[in-house]
Each structure stands twice: as structure tokens, then as C-alpha cells.
Structure 1
Amino acid sequence: MDVRKRLILQFIFQLVFVGAVLIGLMVAMIYYLADQMTEMEMRREFAKAGLPKLVESMEWKDGNIQFDEKLLDEVKRSGGWLQTLDEEGGVITSYFTPGDVPDRYNPGELVDYWRGKKPFPYSLYIWIQVKGGTTYTLLYGVKPEGGQLVQSLSEQAVLSDGKILIPDDLEQKLKAKQGWVQVLDEQGDELASLYKPSEALTHYTLKDLIFGSFSTLSDSYQLWTKHEERTGLTWLVGLPVFAEEGTARPPFLFGSEGQLLLAGFIVLLIVVLLLFGVLSIWYGHRFGTPILHMIRWLQRLGKGAYEEPQDRKGLPRSRKPSGKLKRRYRLYTDVLQVLAGLTETLKRNDEIRTKLEKSREEWIAGVSHDLKTPLSSIKGYAHMLESDQYDWSVAEVREFAGVIKDKADYMDGLIADLSMTYRLKNGAMPLKMELTEMNEFIRGTVASFHNDPGFMQANIYFRGAGKPIYYSVDVHWFRRILDNLLANALIHNPAGTEIEVSLDAGAKNGFMLTVRDNGEGLDEEGLLNLFERYYRGTNTEGAGSGTGLGLAIAKHLVHEHGGTIEAESKSGHGVTIRMRFG
């Protein structure tokens, strides 16, 4: 899988993961807020919010109807009691039931209690539920203490000079309930109060009184009101929501659902911001660190340091001590492999360039020596001919002229070879191809080589292919290939070295030409640099020592004819050069 696909899959996976985390956070927050709002509602009025949950938790266990223990605790905290009735009105189970509550109800009697047609000492709430094919009636009762207290106060208390005067027994009862009382005028303004908490209002609107009568004005208190038609005054009693009898329930951190929702939204926003902050740092470490590492790597390559940046331990930053890629770098495996390959290539090219520079300098020194040696001879003979001290005979002058001509021809050939290598390298020497039968052409080239006065005693043998081979070549330059190879084998080997030239048919119309000698051979360095222009494996002294360009020219000419050339050798075992065409 390439880098592009891995990056796409990685980012898709990360986005899906982040989305799943955010959805999970939102679901958890919604669940928490719903639970808190339900609990707030149960505190205000358990019959409205708690009874449905209580019914849902009802189940048969060990032959009895049981409810959730936490919800039963809420029944107790609300000061209420609970009964479960069968279809005939008999009590099956009961919890926290006072002694004045019946243990059986006639159907009509229960309806009268519920509708208020018959006196009942408790506020009654009824829930009917079918479970397992049986209809169950759930009764929840709570003593309306606030309602009774405000009724008694409106009847027995007296408003005098801005003060509320109440009988001692009512005052003790009010204190025991940790309650307070206010008297309001027709506009809802406070006229007097007793034991009023600091958070209580001094002016009430219609909304405050309506909602205060059925829910909490704040989270800690519940309100009851009684209006006197005769005086137009409104008596208001506030009682705390009790946790246990005589003990106030700890208040919620938030006073209303709106505050709870706002706090939940703020908490969710903070968590999301923290999550994105952590993910940003993680993304930067996960994706940024490898990219910065690769940038530093490229910068080092630009400065000529052909190695991967290392850590304090001297190890490549992208790899473990075992050599495997570190986890955060695996996403960029292809890029790192390309960089490693580029580093090795540049390092190898730099080494080759250094060697070529050294070889070039050595070759230039050799060529300079080759030019200087015949030039010195030419200058020496020229001075001798120019001198007035001697009278040279015609034979001597001709001898001097012959030497000068040979040296000039050698220098001309050296310059021509040098020019030819650059022309071949730059493709500035087009070939004139013609279809040629290669057996006869190579046999003739070897025979003409024997006719060279410098190589008449050479031991060169030719073995043909046994069948005609026709191939398009430039006869002049292809002869130059073979001449250079044969001359190199003879010049750089001792006298008596045998050379075999063999021609073998190849696939289709191709062929393979092999030049093999049994001379001294080459070492590893000599074989590696055999076809280099700037490499000179022997010194340049002696007649016919060559220019050091023969094999480089032969290699270029082979390539120009669409062929390949390779050599193999071992020191002391001769050299074999194979050329494949077609």
C-alpha cells in the first residue's frame, strides 16, 4: 500500500475515532443531565417524576413485588409512603406506611379518597400498571404539611405593625420544619416575614406564585400559598426539601434546569477543547515529527552529508536498535525507503566521482607525459638539425625525419582518441550502417591486424559461427572496436600471449563476439575500471604504449551499435570480453 492510501486510511480512522469519542461524550453528558434533571424533578415532586421510574423498576422476586432500593430511599426522603394493591384493592406490599393508612380499599372508597370527596389525611397519587397479565395499582401518599401549615397560619396568625404574631405551638412547628412565612399584599410585595432566608424574594409575580405552588422557587425550598378574600392578603410558607425527617436535603449545585444545562454545555465544551488540544499535540508528534525528520535529512543531503540524521545514541532517528522502523515512522515507509535509496545513491556517486577525479588527474598526468615524451624527441631532433656545428648526411636527416614523423603521428593519434571519446559521449558522431556478413568481416579484420608491422608475430586465432550472420554495422567503426580490444590485449600482456576471437549466433539475427586471452589478467580494481576513460592500468612508457582511451572508445562504439559489453578476469588467468548485439 502506497503512502497516499495509508495517509487516507489513517486520517479516516482518526476522524472516525474522534467522532466516536465526541458522540460518546455527548451521549454520556445527555444521560448525566437527564438523570440530574429527573432527580431535581423528584425532589420537587416525587409523584410526578419518581412514580413512573418506580413502576418501571417493579418486578417479582422470591414471590414478592420489589422496587429499586434507591427509588424507595427517595420515597422515604420525600416523607411519603407506598402501597401496591391487587385488582380487588388488597395491599400486597407497603413501604413506610403510617398507622392511619388502610390496608385494604373498596373500589369506590379509593376513588373518593383520590378525588377528595372523602377526607383523607394524605395527598394521594395513583398509578395503574399491567405486569405479567395482572393489573397492579400503586398508591403514593405524602402528608401535605406545607398546605396544612399555611392554612393554620392564615387562620391563627396575626399581622401587627409589620410583624407576624403566631401561636407558640405553630411557631415551634414552623421551626421544627425549618420553614419560614411571608405575608404579601395584593401586588405581591412583602408586608412582613418570619424566619425568611436570604435567598427568598421580597416581591412575587404571578409566575413566581404559580410555579412556587407546585415546584421549587429555588432548589432548596418548596412554597405553599393561601389567599384571604376578606383582607386580600396572601400567606406564603416555605419549607426545605427534607432528606431525612428533620434534616434538610443537601442542595443541588445548580438551582435550575437552565443552570444545569448551561453548566453541562460548558463542561462538554471544555472537554472537547481539551480533547482537540491533546489530539493536536498527538497529531503533531505522530505526523509532524517524521516530516521534520525527513526535511532535516534532505537538508543534510543538500550539504553533502550522505547519512540519515541520528539520535544521541548514534542510531538513525527513524529506527529502533533492532533496525525496525519506529511506530510513528511506519506511515512513511515508502518515503523513507526512497530517501534511504537516494542517500545510498548519492553516497555511491560521490565515491565514484572522487575516484574519477583521482583517476582523471592520474590520466591527465599520464597523457601529459605521453605528449611530453614524443615532443621532447621532436624538439631534440629539431635542435640537432638546426645546429651549425654538425653537417648531417642525407641518410641521417631522413632517419631524424622518420623519428619526428612517428612521434608526431603518435601525438596526433592521442589527440584524435581524446576528441573521439567526447564526441561519442555527446552523441556527435553518427554511424553509417550497412548490412554485413559478420564471419567474413571479423576474419578480414583479424587478418589485417596481422599485417600491422607492430603485431605481425601476435598469436591471434579466429573461430567463426559456422553459419552466415548478417547484421547492420558501420564497418569502419566496428573494425575500430576489434582493433582496440586486440591492441589492448597485446600491449598489456607479455610476448607469446594467445588471443582467441570467437563469433556465436544469438537469438533471432543477433550474435555474440568474444575476445579471450590467456595473459596476466586483472585484479578487482582493474576489472572495475577497465572501460573508464580516466583509468590507466599500466604506465605509458615504451613504444606503442597506447593512450589509455582504447577500451573506453570500444565501449562507446559497442553501445552505438546497440550492443552490450562486459568483462571477466582473475589475476593470472587472462581477460575475457563479451559483446552481445541484437
Structure 2
Amino acid sequence: MKWRLTGRYLASVVLIVVIVIFINILVVAGIFIQQSQSPQYPFQEGDASAEAITRSFRKEIFMSESGMAITGQGKETLERNDAWVQILDENGKQIYGYRVPLEAKTKYTPMDVVQTYKYMEKELMSTVFIGEKQGNGERYSYLIGFQNPYLERNILTYDIRKVGRFLQVGILTVLCVDGFIALCIAYLFSKRLTRPLSALIEGIKQLAHKNYQVRYETKGIYKDVFYNVNVLTEELQASELERKKLDRMKEEWIANISHDIKTPLASIQGYAEMMRDKDYDFTAEEMRDYAEIIERKSHYLKDVIEDLNLSTRLRNKGLTLNLKSVNIVSLVRNAVIDTLNDTRYGSRNIDFRYSDEMILVEADDILIRRAVANLIYNAVVHNDEDVAVEVSVEKERDFVRIAVEDHGTGIKKEELERIFDRYYRGTSTGELHKGSGLGMAIAHDIVKTHGGEIHVESELRSGTRIEILLHT
């Protein structure tokens, strides 16, 4: 892109120079073309000029028995150029004439010859040129008169110093004119080049002020720039919408988690105050019940804090994996057993299947177990108690597939896109199973940190299937 723009600027400069040179060449060429094509042009040169015709006419003069004469070609030349000829002897007397006007003299003195050559003969309406022909040991003069009223001849005398100054002024004038032409052309080209740049600068200012409605038509020399600005606008607009959506989710999550934390804190604070109050006389059994409630609520708060810490470290890549060879089948089986050992989910139907008894994977066993447990927990809390959950481990070529599937309520399409977002908590979560809202996001980040993949498929009222793919 950079070289393309540079090339266009260079091309514009070269084009300006070429145009100016072309104008100069065109003017000079026009002068010469007009000279060569128009016999009436006053500065005509070459074979068609009057002087050239006069010089070459001696070839058309020859000695005949009756004296001097001209060839047929000579007569044709005179007729074509509307001219006449007189041949004079050494005494200035006419010895031959062709198409000579009646008013012409038949004898010329040396002064007459000079006057005839220097000035246009008004009586003859002719401009006369003089030539010489030698023959038979004698010298003959001939006068050729051109009856062209536009043809003039002037005798020029000049001072070389004045001519030098004139040439200096002329060259300076030409340079000024060429410079003016170049400036005009450069101005037109600069307007063409800078007008889109002004629009681009204004558009970038709008983007800086978070106005993402900037759109350009992709045409002209900056079409690639316009296209990239449009792409940038779309990306910034999408990022802004995503940021606003994330902010809303954070606000909702903070509101929800604050509400959820207040409940166990209120229980802990209430029971602690009751146990400390001297007005109450609790039995040892009651004290143990209250202590159990406080302990359970404390564990809940601890889990929330650990989830926050783990999620932050995973997202910021601040967690170092403790990789080792792990039997993934045993790991997933233990995660299933831990879920069933939870008194809240002991009655749930969780089926575990596997393709091989031993499938080794290089992984951080604690984190992978946490990810699998989160998926199982998600399948349990989002479905009714009679919904069965199927957990399977299968080895396929060079990777292992861990799947958690249920045939329960499923996930709405609009929620399916957000299931792995931080702070998102599904709407079907029961009141008794409120968590930090980071479980699925943590599972996703753990799998990605291990270089694996995680996919979810779900259909409302048909169930959900979440798969983890890890390289063996």
C-alpha cells in the first residue's frame, strides 16, 4: 500500500513534467508543421520555400537553339507556386521570360536589381528572388517573382548584445510560463490527491470521538485505505457493542453475586451473634448445628473467591501448568464420584462410560478435574432430578474425547453463544445452586490453556452435549 501511494505521487509529478514538456514540443512542432504544409507561412523553410525554389531553379534553365529556355518541370513549378521568371544577360537585358507580368521591365540596371530584390514590387504585386546560371562561358541572372500577397521578405539587422538580452528575457518568460502551467496542473492534481485525505482525516477524528457511523465508498487511488477504514469502523463498532454487553454482564453478575454473598454472610453473622449473646443458652447439639451452617456458608464464600482468583489467573496467563502423565479415565471417574458424594446430588443418575481402562494424557490433573467437575455440575443444576447425565471418555486416534451429555431442558439459542462468557449464569439455575457464574468460563479457559478444544451442542427441551478434546 505504501509503495502504491508513493508510486502514484511520483507518477503525478512525472506526469506534470511530461505535460509541460509536451506543451512546449507541441507548440514548436505546430510551428514547423505549419511551415512545411503552408506555402503562405512567412518563415517557411526547406524545399518548398521561395528561396529554395529560386536556388534550385537553375537546373531548369538550359541553352536552346534560339537562346535560353526552361524545362517543362520548371514551368510546372512556376505555375504551382504562382510565380514568373525573367532571364537576364550580363547587361541586365531580358533574353527569356515566362509568365512575366506586362508591367515588368525588360532591362534592369544594377540598382534596379537591388531595389527589386529588397522591396516588393507594388506594380507587379510580386516578391522577387534572384539566382544565377552559367553557360557558354557567360553568366546569366534570373529573377523569379512570387505573386503571393502574403509572402514578404525583410532584411534583418541586429545587435548581438541585444539579441542576447532578448534571448535571456525570452528564456525567462518561457520558464515563467512553464512554471505557471506546472503550478496549475500541480494544483489540480494536489486537489485530487488531498481531497480524499481530508475526508480520511475527518473520518479518523470521528472514530476518535467514538462515532462509528463513518463509511466511505471504496474508489479512487485511496480505495484500499477507504476499505480498511470501513473494516476498522466495523471492528470498533463491534468492539464497542461487545464492551457494552460485557459491562452489562459484569453489572448483572456483580449484582447477583453480591446478593448471593449477602445471604451466607447474613447467616454467618446471625448465628455468630446468637452464639456470642449471653442471653441465649444453646445446647451442645444446637451449637454444632449452627457451627455446621457457618462452616457450609464459609465454604461457599471460599469457593466463590477461588473461582474469581482462578478465572483471573487463567485469563491473564498467570497460571503455570503442572503437567504430568495422567490416566484421564481415572480422573473423570473420580470427578463423577465426587459429584455423587455431594449430599445435594447423591440421588442423581450419572452414568459413566469409557473405551479403554487406561488413557494417558499430559495434563494438570487438578485443573482438568476441575473443568470436568464444572461440566458435570452444570448438567446437574440445570436439569430436573429425574434427568440422567451421561459422562464418557473415548480415545480416538491421537486425541481423547470427554463428553458430558444430558437429555434435559437444553439451552436457548441466545444463551448458547454466551455459555462460556465470564460472569454468565444460566437462567435455569435453581435458587439452591447459585454460584459465582464463572464455572463454564473456567472450564473453557482450562481446556484452552492445555491446547485442547471445547464444544457445546444443545437444543431446547432435547438436551445438551459438551465435549472436551485433548491431545494424547
User: Any idea what the Cα deviations from partners look like across 1:326-346, whole Å, max 9, x if unmatched?
Assistant: 3x2xx2233222222221111
Distance 1:28 1:476, change over 3 A: closer
> How much has 1:365 moved relative to structure 2?
0.9
Query: Across the two proteins, how many residue pairs are aligned to each other?
Result: 431
**Matches for 1:297-308 after TM superposition, within 5 Å:** 297-308=203-214
1:524 corresponds to: 413
**Matches for 1:12-23 after TM superposition, within 5 Å:** 13-14=11-12, 17-23=15-21
1:461 corresponds to: 351
Secondary structure of the residue aligned to 2:49 is helix
> Does 440-449 or 412-421 show the bigger shift?
440-449
Distance 1:152 1:275, change over 3 A: closer
Find 1:565's aligned residue among 451, 454, 465: 454
1:30 corresponds to: 28
TM score, norm. by length of structure 2: 0.75
Q: Does 1:281 align with 2:280?
A: no
1:166 corresponds to: none
Find 1:117's aligned residue among 90, 105, 110: 90
Give yes or no for contact 2:16–2:186 (8 Å, CA) kept in 1: no
Secondary structure of the residue aligned to 2:318 is coil
Q: Does 1:473 align with 2:363?
A: yes
2:290 corresponds to: 400
Identity of aligned residues (%): 26
Distance 1:46 1:344, change over 3 A: closer
Distance 1:470 1:49, change over 3 A: same
> Does 540-549 or 351-360 show the bigger shift?
540-549
> How much has 1:373 moved relative to structure 2?
0.3
**Matches for 1:89-488 after TM superposition, within 5 Å:** 89-92=69-72, 93=75, 94-95=78-79, 113=88, 117-121=90-94, 244=149, 269=175, 272-308=178-214, 316=215, 318-319=216-217, 325-326=218-219, 328=220, 331-466=221-356, 468-488=358-378
> How much has 1:477 moved relative to structure 2?
1.5
Give yes or no for contact 2:381–2:433 (8 Å, CA) kept in 1: yes
Distance 1:87 1:266, change over 3 A: farther
Q: Which amino acid aligns with 1:547?
A: S
Give yes or no for contact 1:123–1:143 (8 Å, CA) kept in 2: no
Give yes or no for contact 2:456–2:467 (8 Å, CA) kept in 1: yes
**Matches for 1:474-513 after TM superposition, within 5 Å:** 474-508=364-398, 510-513=399-402
> How much has 1:512 moved relative to structure 2?
2.2
Which whole-Å CA distance do the structure 2 matches of 1:30 and 1:288 have between them? 34
Give yes or no for contact 2:47–2:53 (8 Å, CA) kept in 1: no
- Structure 1: 5+ residue stretches without partners: 59-80, 103-109, 125-137, 155-173, 178-213, 215-240, 309-315, 320-324
Secondary structure of the residue aligned to 2:431 is coil
Secondary structure of the residue aligned to 1:483 is helix
User: Any idea what the Cα deviations from partners look like across 1:77-115, whole Å, max 9, x if unmatched?
Assistant: xxxx999558974442243566xx67xxxxxxx7xx4xx
> How much has 1:419 moved relative to structure 2?
1.7
> Does 30-39 or 551-560 show the bigger shift?
30-39
Distance 1:351 1:542, change over 3 A: same
Which whole-Å CA distance do the structure 1 matches of 2:322 and 2:46 have between them? 111
> How much has 1:451 moved relative to structure 2?
2.2
1:227 corresponds to: none
Q: Which amino acid aligns with 2:386?
A: G
> How much has 1:55 moved relative to structure 2?
8.8
Secondary structure of the residue aligned to 2:469 is strand
Q: Does 1:551 align with 2:440?
A: yes
User: Any idea what the Cα deviations from partners look like across 1:318-364, whole Å, max 9, x if unmatched?
Assistant: 32xxxxx33x2xx2233222222221111111111111111111111
Q: Which amino acid aligns with 2:90?
A: K
Give yes or no for contact 2:40–2:151 (8 Å, CA) kept in 1: no
> Does 25-34 or 355-364 show the bigger shift?
25-34
Distance 1:392 1:275, change over 3 A: same
1:313 corresponds to: none
> Does 434-443 or 272-281 show the bigger shift?
272-281
User: Any idea what the Cα deviations from partners look like across 1:8-29, whole Å, max 9, x if unmatched?
Assistant: 5545654554454334323222
Find 2:5's aligned residue among 4, 7, 10: 7
Which whole-Å CA distance do the structure 2 matches of 1:440 and 1:152 have between them? 132
Which whole-Å CA distance do the structure 1 matches of 2:363 and 2:44 have between them? 109
Which whole-Å CA distance do the structure 1 matches of 2:16 and 2:235 have between them? 42
Give yes or no for contact 1:306–1:343 (8 Å, CA) kept in 2: yes
Q: Which amino acid aligns with 2:182?
A: F
Q: Which amino acid aligns with 2:92?
A: P
Give yes or no for contact 1:503–1:513 (8 Å, CA) kept in 2: yes
1:536 corresponds to: 425
Give yes or no for contact 1:568–1:576 (8 Å, CA) kept in 2: yes
> How much has 1:35 moved relative to structure 2?
6.8
Q: Which amino acid aligns with 1:534?
A: Y
Distance 1:443 1:143, change over 3 A: farther
> How much has 1:34 moved relative to structure 2?
4.8
Superposed CA RMSD in Å reads 4.7
Which whole-Å CA distance do the structure 2 matches of 1:359 and 1:470 have between them? 38
Give yes or no for contact 1:83–1:139 (8 Å, CA) kept in 2: no
Q: Which amino acid aligns with 2:206?
A: R
Secondary structure of the residue aligned to 1:513 is strand
Computing the radius of gyration from Cα coordinates, the structure with the larger value is 1
Give yes or no for contact 2:401–2:470 (8 Å, CA) kept in 1: yes
